[in-house]
């Protein structure tokens, strides 16, 4: 039904475009001067035809379920039901009206199912009537405006401008959406678990929260030793540190080599090849780390008499480092190439060798940009999920031994939220709290990094 109505609105929109344009030609044929190109008459009529109807249509789709629910559940008010029970009744009603109800049918529910169906059919038919009358009214208005040959280009362009502006708000809306989805759960979480325990606690054992019988009231003291995030934060930064130990030397040196030494031919092939590393999906790296690097390190360790966990931080961090190499190499390559040639010439003129020039002149000059690129790399390492989930441990160990397994923020979020989630459970909320801390940390890193890079760019432009 909705689809038919929607298609109908769209078709009407297209037809009214042709009618509008035709009207413009008729006006033109009476030797009157048009105020805009004929197609603007068409656009004008089409916009007036489709947009108001479409707005009503979407509003209806958003509010109809809520209003129907309120009306159906009205019968049950004053009977002392809890919200959850009311929701259950409503779900049963809907299931019954679709004929998919399997439980025991009580007369109450049968009555509400009938009411539900009749309300739905009233809503459907009134929607069609209202949408059609809106279309008729707005088209009549717009057609009158067209016939009197009033301006059409300006309103159409204003409308387009408004559409463009709305689209540009999407980025803000996404940010708002992220903050919004994280903040409520996080606040609820901190109502149960004190912030202090979360930030300074050293025991992370969210599975404990599962043992709770759901009928019991929440007992905060139960969780006092469950949600201490220190091991998680430590693990996150530790793995990121290992990753950067691999990525910075290799990435930076290859960036320098590509920018300063490599012939055009080498550059032409090596650069895209290295960048392939950035295009490989992270789940593939995770598989590689878990299946190849982890067991390899374990065997290597055993042959040297070391005890290496198959899911060591070293394997996850090392592979993550490989993933980050291209970010650092191409960003530092860009940064180094944009250092003005005059600085190099000056240094060569003083008799410095190429490497001395790079180390003493170019590197200091490019340092802010390089730092920025490294910070972006760190932010990526902290936010990386799949490699850690697949190759590093899932139990949170507080350790600084790269051969043991640790866990990270992202891995814990996945572990907690994989499968079914119960909103309102401290365990689920803990995942959102972790997400919030991840968002804040990466946000700070990104802002600083982007600032530094931007400042640096301005310096040499």
Partner 1 sequence: MNKNKEQLLNKRYKAEQRFRLYGQSAIFMALLFLTIFIFKIFSTGYSAFQKTWLIVPVTFDAELMMLEQNPSKEDIQDADYYDIALKSMADLDPNANEDQENELKRMVSYFFEKEIKNELLNDPSLIGKTKEVYLTASDDLDQVFKGNYPRDLPEDQRRVSDYQLKIFDQLVANGKVESKFNISFFTNADSREAELAGIASSFMGSIFSILVCLMIAFPVAVLAAIYLEEFAPKNRFTDFIEVNINNLAAVPSIVFGLLGLGVLLAIFQLPRSTPLVGGITLSLMTLPTIIIAARASLKAVPPSIREAALAMGASRMQTTMHHTVPLSMPGTLSGTIIGLAQALGETAPLILIGMVAFVNTIPGSPMDPAASLPVQIYIWAESAERGFVEKVSACIMVLLAFLITMNLFAQIIRHKFEKKWS
Task: Give yes or no for residue 133 binding partner 1 (CB under 8 A).
Answer: no
Based on the shown chain and the rule CB under 8 A, indicate whether residue 290 belongs to the binding site for partner 1. Answer: yes
Q: HSE on the CB side for 261, CA within 13 Å?
A: 11
Task: State how far the Cα of 64 lies from the Cα of 72, in Å rounded to an integer.
Answer: 12
Contact window for partner 1 (CB under 8 A) among 72-80, 218-226, 235-243, 288-296: 288-296
Residue 68 within binding range of partner 1, rule CB under 8 A:
no
With contacts defined by CB under 8 A, name the span among 215-223, 336-344, 351-359, 362-370 that binds partner 1. Answer: 351-359
What's the closest the beta carbon of residue 42 comes to partner 1, in angstroms?
15
Residue 172 engages partner 1 in binding (rule: CB under 8 A): yes
HSE-CB of 176 using CA atoms within 13 angstroms: 5
Binding mask 180-209 for partner 1 (x = CB under 8 A): xxx-xx------------------------
Write the binding mask 72 to 111 for partner 1: x where contact by CB under 8 A, - elsewhere.
----------------------------------------
Cβ atoms of 337 and 294 within 8 Å: the answer is no
Q: Return the residue of 45, 113, 256, 365 that touches partner 1, per CB under 8 A.
A: 256
If one asks whether residue 122 binds partner 1 (CB under 8 A), the answer comes out as no
> Total binding residues for partner 1 by CB under 8 A?
89
Q: Residue 143 or 368: which CB sits closer to partner 1?
A: 368
Nearest distance from C-beta of residue 263 to partner 1, angstroms: 12
324 sits near partner 1 (criterion: CB under 8 A): no
Closest separation in Å from C-beta 422 to partner 1: 11
Nearer Cβ to partner 1, position 82 or 171? 171
Is 353 an interacting residue with respect to partner 1 (CB under 8 A)? yes
Binding flag, residue 322, partner 1 (CB under 8 A): yes
* Structural tokens at position 262: 């490599």
Residues 367-386 interacting with partner 1 (rule: CB under 8 A): 376, 379-380, 382-386
Segment contacting partner 1 (CB under 8 A): 7-15, 121-129, 266-274, 360-368?
266-274
- 393-452: contacts with partner 1 (CB under 8 A): 410, 413-414, 417-418, 421, 423, 431-432, 435, 438-439, 442-443, 446-447, 449-450
Radius of gyration of the chain (CA): 32
Q: Interface with partner 1 includes 35 (CB under 8 A)?
A: no
Residue 274 lies near partner 1 (rule: CB under 8 A): yes
- Contact between 365 and partner 1 (CB under 8 A)? no
Q: Which stretch binds partner 1 (CB under 8 A): 69-77, 99-107, 159-167, 219-227?
A: 159-167
Say whether residue 177 binds partner 1 (CB under 8 A).
Answer: yes
| 58 binds partner 1 per the rule CB under 8 A | no
How far are the Cα atoms of 328, 331, 460 from residue 456, in angstroms, in the given order? 16, 13, 7
Which residue among 157, 219, 307, 345 contacts partner 1 (CB under 8 A)? 157
The reply on whether position 264 binds partner 1 by CB under 8 A is: no
Among 106, 137, 249, 345, binds partner 1 (CB under 8 A): 249
Determine, following the binding rule CB under 8 A, whether residue 234 of this chain makes contact with partner 1: no
């Amino acid at each position: 039904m909705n689809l038919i109505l929607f298609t109908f609105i769209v078709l009407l929109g297209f037809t009214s475009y042709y009618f509008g344009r035709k009207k413009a030609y008729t006006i033109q044929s009476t030797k009157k001067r048009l105020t805009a190109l004929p197609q603007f008459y068409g656009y004008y009529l089409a916009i007036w035809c489709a947009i108001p109807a479409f707005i009503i249509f979407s509003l209806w789709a958003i509010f109809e379920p809520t209003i129907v629910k309120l009306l159906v559940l009205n019968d049950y008010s004053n009977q002392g039901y809890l919200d959850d029970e009311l929701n259950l009744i409503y779900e049963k009603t809907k299931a019954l009206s679709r004929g998919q109800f399997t439980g025991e049918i009580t007369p109450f529910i049968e009555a509400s199912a009938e009411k539900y169906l009749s309300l739905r059919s009233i809503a459907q038919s009134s929607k069609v009537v209202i949408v059609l009358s809106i279309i008729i009214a707005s088209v009549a208005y717009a057609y009158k405006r067209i016939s009197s040959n009033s301006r059409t280009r300006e309103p159409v362009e204003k409308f387009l401008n408004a559409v463009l502006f709305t689209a540009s708000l999407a980025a803000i809306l996404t940010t708002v959406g992220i903050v919004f989805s994280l903040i409520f759960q996080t606040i609820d979480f901190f109502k149960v678990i004190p912030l202090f325990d979360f930030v300074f606690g050293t025991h992370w054992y969210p599975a404990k929260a599962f043992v709770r019988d759901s009928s019991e009231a929440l007992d905060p003291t139960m969780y006092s030793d469950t949600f201490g995030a220190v091991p998680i934060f430590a693990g996150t930064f530790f793995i990121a540190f290992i990753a950067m130990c691999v990525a910075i030397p290799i990435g930076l040196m290859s960036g320098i080599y590509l920018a300063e030494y490599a012939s055009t031919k080498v550059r032409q092939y090596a650069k895209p090849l290295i960048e392939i590393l950035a295009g490989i999906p992270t789940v593939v790296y995770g598989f590689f780390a878990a299946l190849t690097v982890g067991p390899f390190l374990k065997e290597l360790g055993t042959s040297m008499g070391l005890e290496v966990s198959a899911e060591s931080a070293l394997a996850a961090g090392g592979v993550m480092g490989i993933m980050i190499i291209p970010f650092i190499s191409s960003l530092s390559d860009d940064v180094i190439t944009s250092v003005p040639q005059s600085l190099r010439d000056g240094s060569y003129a003083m008799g410095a060798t190429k490497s001395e020039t790079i180390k003493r002149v170019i590197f200091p000059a490019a340092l802010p940009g390089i730092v920025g690129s490294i910070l972006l790399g760190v932010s990526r390492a902290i936010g990386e999920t799949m490699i850690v989930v697949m190759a590093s441990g899932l139990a949170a160990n507080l350790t600084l031994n790269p051969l043991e397994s640790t866990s990270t923020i992202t891995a814990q979020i996945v572990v907690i939220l994989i499968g079914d989630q119960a909103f309102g459970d401290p365990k689920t909320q803990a995942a959102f709290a972790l997400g919030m801390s991840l968002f804040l940390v990466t946000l700070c890193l990104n802002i600083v990094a982007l600032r530094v890079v931007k400042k640096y760019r301005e310096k040499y432009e």
